[in-house]
Amino acid sequence: LASGRQKCCASIKNFYKSRFSQLSRAFWSPATAKKIANFSKIL
């Protein structure tokens, strides 16, 4: 059970890492910088 949970956490982490790198590549303009600031406030 514990190993299954670790695999799940790892896949979630990898998913967020890949999403974040895609977003950061797509996003570096002033307007999107504001969106990221708002998003980080939500987090």
Domain spans, the chain: 2-42
The answer to whether the beta carbons of residues 36 and 27 sit under 8 Å apart is yes
Q: Please spell the DSSP secondary structure of the chain, one letter per residue.
A: -HHHHHHHHHHHHHHHHHHHHHHHHHH-SHHHHHHHHHHHHH-
The token pair that represents 9 in the structure block: 């956490």
Put simply, whether the predicted model's pTM sits higher than 0.75 gets the answer: no
In the block, tokens 């910088």 appear at 33
Gap between the Cα atoms of 15 and 38, Å rounded: 21
pLDDT at 27: 64
pLDDT at 23: 76
pLDDT digits (tens, 9 = 90+) for 6-29: 888 899 898 888 888 877 777 666
Place 4 in a pLDDT band, splitting at 50, 70 and 90. Answer: confident
pLDDT at 29: 66
pLDDT at 28: 66
